[in-house]
Structure 1
Amino acid sequence: MSKVSVTGSKRVIDDVIEAAYDTHSLHVTDYDERYEGFAPGESLEGAETVNERLVTVRSLESVLDVEGDEVDAARALDDEVLERELADVRESVNELDDRRDELRAEIRDREEEIDRMEPFADLGIELDLLRGYDSLEVVVGEAKPDAVEATLANADGIDAYEVFAGSDVVAVFARPADGAEAGVLQDSLVGVDIALLEVPDAETSPAEYVAELERECEDLRADLESVEADLAATKEEAAAFLLRAEEQLTIEAQKKEAPLSFATTENAFIAEGWIPTDAYPDFEAAIADAVGDHAEVEELERASFTPGGDHHTEAVDHGGDGDTGSEPADASDATAEREAATDGGHAPHGDDEPPVVQDNGSAAGPFELLVQGFGRPKYSEFDPTLLVFLTFPLMFGFMIGDVGYGVLYAAIGYFLYSRYDGTFRELGAVAMWAGGFTILFGIYFGIDLFGYHAYQLLPGEIHWPVDGKGLSPADIDWALSFLVASVLFGLVHLNVGHTLSFVSNYQQHDLKHALYEGGSWLLILNGAWLWIFSQHVPGPKPDFLFESFSILTFGAVSFAGFPVAVGYAAIAAILAGIILLAIGEPPELAEVLSPIVNVISYARIMAVLLAKGGMALAVNLLAFGAYIDESGEGSFHFIFSAEHLAHVQETPSEELVFAGMTTAFDPAAIGAVGVVALVGGILVAVVGHVVVLALGITSAGIQAVRLEYVEFFGNFYSGGGDTYLPFGYDRKYTTEDN
C-alpha cells in the first residue's frame, strides 16, 4: 500500500474528486490538522440539496418496504427526470401514508372504546341507569362482589346499597346516610381491590354501542386494505426508480462531501489516503488527464508486505521500468514495513496505519467474523483467521462430540448459509464447520447420538476404541485422559501464539526484542510443562498424567515421563526465561506463572465435554431410564418398557441405574397412566435435548471463543486495523451515463 497526497487548486477540486472517484482505489484519510494554515474542508455546493433528496428517497423506500430485487437492469437516470419523478412519488406516497396512519389511529381508537365498553356490556345494565342520580351514588369497577358486599355491610355513612355483578365487573348503588359527605361510597371501598371504571357517555345500550363500534372498525379496516393496495401498486411502479435514485444520490453525496476529509485553504487543497501500490500509476495518470498540472500527485509513504517474513526495502522510482515491489493490502501475511518514498524526497506524513483487506479464501473466510469480533488485524499484524479456522471447530466439536447434535448444528448452519447474506451467512458457514467436527468427535466417542452410544444398539460384538466420554463407570479413565488431551492442546496452541510473538518482534525490531518479548515466555512455558511431565520429583504428580498417553493412543505409546535429566534441563529453561523477562520486561515478572495457568485454562474443554455429555445423559435417564448389563463393564443401556424394567429388576447380574418415565408404558396392557408416561417421556427428551443443543452454543461456543481471544490472541495479537474502503461506488442499478 502507498500513502499518496493530491495537492491542487480549489478551482479543480470537483474534477479531482470525479477522477479519484472513477478510479475507485483511493482510501481517503481524514485531515488531522498537522498542516499549518490549513483547515478541514467544507462540502461542495449543492450537498445539502442532494442529502435532502437522499433522505426523502430512503424515507419513501421505508414506507413502501422497498428491497433490492425490484430492478431488472441498470440504466441511466437523468437529473431532471429524478427531480420531477421524485416529487410525484413523494406526493402520492405521503398522501397514502398519511391516510393509512389516520385509518390506523381511528381503528385503534375504536378498539380502545370497545375494550372500555365490554365490561358494561357484560354487566347488562343500561348506561343511563348508571348515572344522573341525586340521592344515590353509583360506582362501577372490576372487583369481586363478595369483597365489595363484605366491606359495605360494615361501612359507616351508607344507609342502603345494592350490588349487581357480571363475570368480572360490579355496579354498586348506595344511598348515603343523612349528613354523609359526597363520595362516601368510593371512600368506603378504599380497602377493596377494585379498578374503577368511568361510565361512557352514550345513549344506546352497551351491547348495541359495542356492535356499532365493531361495524365501524370493519368499515375502517376495509378502507385500510384499499389504501394498502394502493401503496402496493405504487411500490410496484416506483421501486425501480427509488433504488436508482438512491444509488445516484448516494454517489453525488459522497462526491460533494469528500472535501470534509481534505485540508484546505482559501485557494488550495490537500487530499491524502492509501492506495494499492500497483494502482498508483493509473491513479496518477487519471488525475493528470483530468486537471493536467493544476494538481500534483505524490507518493508519501509505502508499506509493503514480505510474505516470507523478511524485511524488504525498495526505493520508489515511478519514472523507471523497475518493479515497484507492490503488494496488495492483505492482512493474511505476516508483517508489514513502511519506508519513505524517495522520488521526491518527501518525508512520511502522519502515523495512520494502512487499511486492511482480509482475504482467507472461501473455506477460512467466514472465520474472519470471529477474528473481527476481537478486532480487525492491523496492516503490520499476522492475520490469525486461518489458525482460528483450524482450531475453533476442533475445540467446539470435541466439547460437544455428538453425532445427533452435530447434524442439527450443521443443518442450522446450512439454513443460515443458504437463506441469508452477510453476517448470518458467515455464521452459517462457521456452524457447518463446527457441526461437522461435532459429528466426527461423536463418532470417535462411540457413535454418540443425543447422549447415547448408538453402537450398543447394533447386533453382534462390536469393539469401539473409545467407550464414551468418561461419564459411565466403565470409562472413567477416559475422562482423565481427555483432561490431559485438553492440556496438551492448550500447550500446542500457546506455543503457536508465543512463536508468532517471537517472529513478529524479530521482524519489526531485532533478535534482542524477540528474545525478551517472545523467547522468554517460550522458555518458561515449555520448561514448566516439560518438568511437569518429567520424572523429576514424581511424588506430587498424579499417575494419570502418564497413563493417559497409552489410553489416548490405544496402547501404541507407553509414556512413563521424561527422564530426570530432562526435568533439570526444564528448570534451567525456566530460569533462563525468567532472566530474559527480568532484563527486557521487568513488570511482566508479576505474571511469571501465567504459562502454567493459561495452559490449565484449557481444561475447560474437558469440563464442557463432561458437562454437556452429563446433561444429555440426564435427559435420557429421565425419559428412558438406564441399566448396567450383565457384562459388568459399566456401560449404560436404555430400558424400553415396563416389562423390560421388571426383567432388569429381577436379574441379579444387571444393575438398575434409573427408571425413566417411559418405563411406565406397557405395550401388552396399554393404560392411561402408561400413555401419559410415554408422551411425557418423549416430551422431556425432545425439550431436554433442545435445551442441551442451545446450551452447546452458549457454552462450547463461548468457551472456544474465549480461549482464542484471551489465551491465544493475548500473546501476539492486538487488532484495531481499518477496513480498506476505496473512494468510489460499485453501481448496481444505474450506469455512469447519467
Structure 2
Amino acid sequence: MSRVSVTGSKRVIDEVIEAAYDHHSLHVTDYDDRYEGFEPGTSLEGAEDVNEQLVTVRSLESILDVDEDDADGPGKLPDDALTAELDRTRERVNELNDRRDELRAEIRDRQEEIDRMEPFAELGIELDLLGGYDSLEVVVGEAKPDAVEAALASADGIGAFEVFSGGNVVAAFAVPAEGAESGVLQDALVGVDVAFLEVPDADASPADYVAELEGERVDLEEDLDAVDAELEEVKAEAAGFLLRAEEQLTIEAQKKQAPISFATTENAFIAEGWIPTATVADFEAVVADAVGDHAEVEELERASFTPDGDHHTEAVADGGSSDNTAGGGTTAPDVGDDADREAATDGGHATHGSDEPPVVQDNGGAAGPFELLVQGFGRPKYSEFDPTLLVFLTFPAMFGFMIGDVGYGVLYAAIGYFMYSNYEGAFRELGAVALWAGGFTILFGIYFGIDVFGYHAYQLLGIHWPVAGKGLSPADLNWALAFLVVSVLFGLLHLNIGYVLSFVSNYEQHDLKHAMYEGGSWLLLLNGAWIWIFSQHVPGPKPDFLFESVSILTLGAVSFAGFPVAVGIAGLVAAGLGAVLLAIGEPAELAEVLSPIVNVISYARIMAVLLAKGGMALAVNLLAFGAYIGDEGAGSFHFIFTPEYLAYIQENSVANGGEYELVFAGLTTAFEPSLVGIVALLAGVVVAFVGHVVVLLLGVTSAGIQAVRLEYVEFFGKFYEGGGNAYSPFGYDRKYTEE
C-alpha cells in the first residue's frame, strides 16, 4: 500500500472527486489539522438537496417494503428523470399511505368501541335503562354476581337492590337507604373485585350497536385491502426505479460529502489516503487526464508487508528519508495560487506516522468465515500476521473435542447449514463456523465410542471400541486424566505457535536482539519449564498419570516414563536463561515469569468442559432411561430403556449376589399399560428431549466461549494486538444503475 496526497486548486475539486471515485482505489483518510493554514472541508453545493432526496427514496422504499429482490435489472437514470419520477412517486405513495393510516385509525376506533360495547351486549339491557334515575343508583362492571349480591346485602346504606348479569358483566340497581349519601352503591362495592364500566351514550340497543360497528369495520377493512392492493401496484411499477434512485443518490451524496475529509483553504485542497502501490501510476494518469496540471498526485510513503510480519513505510517523495519511519520533508506541490502555496508548504508537508495502512483480509475458501472470529477481537493491523488460518485450524478442533458427540454434532452442523443457506453477511459466516464445529464434534464423537446424545452406540452394535468413553464411567477414569494431558499438550503446541510468531514478527520489524528479548525468552521459559515437568527430575510431586497417559492414548503402543533427568535439568537451565533474557529486555515482565506454566494449565478447561457436557448428557439419559454399572461396579454405564431389562438387572444386582450395580431405575422403565405407566413414559421422553436441548445450547455457551477465550486471551495475547482499519476505497460498485 502507498500513501498518496492529491493537491490541487479548488476549482477542479469536482473533477478530481469524480476521477478518484471512478478509479475506486483510494482509501481516503480524514484530515486531522496537521497542516497550518488548512481547515477541514465542507460538503459541495447541492449536498443537502441530494441528502433530502435520498431520505425520501429510503422512506418510500420502507413504505412499499422494497428490497433487492424487487430489482428489475440495471439501467440508466438521468438526473432530470430522477427528480420528476421521484416527485410523481412520492405524491402517489404519500397519498395512499395517508389514506391507509386514516383507515387503520378508523378501524382501530371501531374496534375499541366494539370492545367497549360488547360487555353491555352480553348484559342484554338497553342502555337507556342503565342511567338517568333520580332515586335509583346504577353501576355496571365486570365482577362475580354472587360477590356483588353479598356485598349489597350486607351494606347499611342500601335500602333495596337488584343484580342482573350476563357473561362476566354485572349491572347492580340499588335504592339508597333513608338518609344515605349519594354514591352509596359504589361505596358498598369497595371490597369487591369489580372493574367498573362507563355506560356508552348510544340510542340503539347494545347488540344492534355492536353489529353496526362490526359492519363498519368490515367496510373499512375492505377499503384498506383496496389501498394495500394499490400500493402493491405502485411497488411493482416503482421498485426498480427506487432502487436505482437510491444507488445513484448514494453515489452523488458520497461525492458531495467527500471534501469533509480533505484539508482545504479558500482556493486549494489536499486529499490524502492509501492506495495499492501497483495502481499509483494509473491513478496519477487518471487524475491528470481529468484536470491536467491543476492537481498533482504525490506518493508520500510506501508500506510493505510479507507473511513473515515485515512491515515498514518509506518516504518516497523528494527530500524524504527511508529510515522505516513515516516521517518525511516533502512539500505541497504548486496549486496555482501564491497564498495557497505558502500555507501548504509552511512547516513542510510532513506525513502522519500514526496513520496505519488499511487492511484487506482475503483468506477465502474454508478459512474465510473465521475472519469473523478474528474481527471479534480486532481486525489485524497492516503490520501483523493474520491469525485467521490458525483459528480455522484450532477453534473447530477445540470445540469438537469439548462436545464430542455425534448427535449434537449433526444438530450443530444442521443449524450451521441452515444459517449458511438462508442468510448473508455475519450470520452466513457464523453458519460456516458452526458447520466446521459440528463436523469436528461428529469426528470426536466417533472417537469417544460412537457417542450419540451421551449413549455409546458401540455397545448397541456389539463391537469392541478401544476408547471406552470420556472418562465418566468407573472403568475408564484413567481416560479422563489422559484427556487432561491431551489438553495440556495442545496448550503447549498452541502457545509455542504464538510465541514463534512473536519472535518472527520482532525479528522482521527490529532485529535478533529484540526478538530474543520479547519472543525467545518466553519460548525458553515455556518449553524449559514443561520439559522439566515431564521429566524424571524430582519425580516425587509429579503425578503418575503425566507419564502413563501416553500409553493409554496410544493403546499401549508407546510407553513414556518421562524425559531423563539430564533432559529435565537442561529444561530448567533453558527456563532460567529465558528468565535472564526477560530481565534484560523487559524487566517489568518478570512479575509474570510463571505465566507460561499458568497459561498452559488454563487449557485444562478443554478437558473440564468435555467431562461437564458428557456428564450432563449422562445425567439426562440416566433420569430418562435408567442405568447400571457392570462388572461389580467397576465397569461402564449402560442404559436400561425397558421394564423387562430393569427387572433382569435387579435380579442380578450386587445386592442379590449378581454383577450389576443399579444406579437409577429411570422414568421410561416404569412404563406399563396404566395411567401411571403412561405418565412415566411421557415424563421420561420430555426429560430426555428438554435435557438434551439444554445440553445442546449450553454446548455453545460453554465450549464455544471457552474455545474463543483460549484463542483471544492465551493465544492472541502472545503475538497479536488487532485494531486495524478495513480497506474501504472511495467509490461504489454499481448494482442497479449504469454509468
Structure 1-normalised TM-score?
0.92
Tell me how far apart the structure 1 counterparts of residues 190 and 526 of structure 2 sit (CA, whole Å).
74
User: How big is the shift at 1:674?
Assistant: 3.3
> Contact 2:312/2:509 (CA < 8 Å) preserved in 1?
no
Tell me how far apart the structure 2 counterparts of residues 7 and 47 of structure 1 sit (CA, whole Å).
22
2:182 matched residue in structure 1: 182
Pair 1:704 & 2:710 matched: no
1:657 matched residue in structure 2: 663
1:361-387 per-position Cα deviation (integer Å, ceiling 9, x unaligned): 211000000111111111111111011
User: How big is the shift at 1:292?
Assistant: 0.6
Pair 1:367 & 2:364 matched: no
**1:113–1:391 CA distance, 2 compared to 1 (3 A):** same
1:400-434 per-position Cα deviation (integer Å, ceiling 9, x unaligned): 11111111111111111122221111111111100
**1:190–1:550 CA distance, 2 compared to 1 (3 A):** same
Pair 1:470 & 2:471 matched: yes
1:35-55 per-position Cα deviation (integer Å, ceiling 9, x unaligned): 111111111111111111111
1:438-463 per-position Cα deviation (integer Å, ceiling 9, x unaligned): 0100000010111101111114xx22
1:102-160 per-position Cα deviation (integer Å, ceiling 9, x unaligned): 11122222222222233333333332222222223333333344444444444443334
Matches within 5 A, 1:308-457: 308-309=308-309, 316=316, 347-457=350-460
1:328 matched residue in structure 2: none
Tell me how far apart the structure 2 counterparts of residues 590 and 343 of structure 1 sit (CA, whole Å).
45
**One-letter code of the match for 2:99?**
R
Q: CA RMSD in A?
A: 2.4
1:226-272 per-position Cα deviation (integer Å, ceiling 9, x unaligned): 11111111111111111111111111111111111101000000000
Pair 1:196 & 2:202 matched: no
Aligned length: 715
**1:522–1:684 CA distance, 2 compared to 1 (3 A):** same
**One-letter code of the match for 1:107?**
I
> Contact 1:303/1:339 (CA < 8 Å) preserved in 2?
no
User: How big is the shift at 1:535?
Assistant: 2.4
Once the two structures are aligned, what percentage of the paired residues are identical? 79
User: How big is the shift at 1:339?
Assistant: 5.8
> Contact 1:375/1:719 (CA < 8 Å) preserved in 2?
yes
> Contact 1:302/1:340 (CA < 8 Å) preserved in 2?
no
> Contact 2:74/2:738 (CA < 8 Å) preserved in 1?
yes
User: How big is the shift at 1:672?
Assistant: 4.0
Pair 1:595 & 2:601 matched: no
Q: Gapped runs of 5+ residues in structure 2?
A: 332-347, 653-657
**1:234–1:455 CA distance, 2 compared to 1 (3 A):** same
> Contact 1:300/1:346 (CA < 8 Å) preserved in 2?
no
> Contact 1:139/1:185 (CA < 8 Å) preserved in 2?
yes
Deviates more, 1:80-89 or 1:363-372: 80-89
Tell me how far apart the structure 2 counterparts of residues 260 and 168 of structure 1 sit (CA, whole Å).
67
**1:315–1:210 CA distance, 2 compared to 1 (3 A):** closer
User: How big is the shift at 1:342?
Assistant: 9.7
1:548-568 per-position Cα deviation (integer Å, ceiling 9, x unaligned): 121112112212222333333
Q: Secondary structure at the match of 1:272?
A: strand
**1:134–1:311 CA distance, 2 compared to 1 (3 A):** closer
1:579 matched residue in structure 2: 580
Q: Gapped runs of 5+ residues in structure 1?
A: 319-324, 326-335
> Contact 2:379/2:725 (CA < 8 Å) preserved in 1?
yes
Q: Secondary structure at the match of 1:33?
A: coil
1:524 matched residue in structure 2: 525
Tell me how far apart the structure 2 counterparts of residues 196 and 577 of structure 1 sit (CA, whole Å).
83
Tell me how far apart the structure 2 counterparts of residues 477 and 359 of structure 1 sit (CA, whole Å).
44
1:489-539 per-position Cα deviation (integer Å, ceiling 9, x unaligned): 112212222222222222223333323322332233223322322223322
> Contact 2:550/2:559 (CA < 8 Å) preserved in 1?
yes
Matches within 5 A, 1:508-657: 508-629=509-630, 634-651=635-652, 652-657=658-663
**One-letter code of the match for 2:298?**
E
**One-letter code of the match for 1:289?**
D
Q: Secondary structure at the match of 2:371?
A: helix
2:655 matched residue in structure 1: none
> Contact 2:22/2:731 (CA < 8 Å) preserved in 1?
yes
Pair 1:251 & 2:251 matched: yes
Q: Secondary structure at the match of 1:489?
A: helix
1:501 matched residue in structure 2: 502
**1:125–1:562 CA distance, 2 compared to 1 (3 A):** farther
User: How big is the shift at 1:337?
Assistant: 6.3
Pair 1:55 & 2:55 matched: yes
Tell me how far apart the structure 2 counterparts of residues 236 and 313 of structure 1 sit (CA, whole Å).
54
Matches within 5 A, 1:134-283: 134-283=134-283
**One-letter code of the match for 1:34?**
R
Tell me how far apart the structure 2 counterparts of residues 540 and 149 of structure 1 sit (CA, whole Å).
84
Tell me how far apart the structure 2 counterparts of residues 624 and 690 of structure 1 sit (CA, whole Å).
16
User: How big is the shift at 1:709?
Assistant: 1.1
Tell me how far apart the structure 1 counterparts of residues 584 and 197 of structure 2 sit (CA, whole Å).
81
Tell me how far apart the structure 2 counterparts of residues 726 and 338 of structure 1 sit (CA, whole Å).
24
> Contact 1:316/1:342 (CA < 8 Å) preserved in 2?
no
Deviates more, 1:293-302 or 1:612-621: 612-621
Deviates more, 1:111-120 or 1:624-633: 624-633
**1:116–1:544 CA distance, 2 compared to 1 (3 A):** farther
1:685 matched residue in structure 2: 688
**One-letter code of the match for 1:454?**
A
Structure 2-normalised TM-score?
0.92
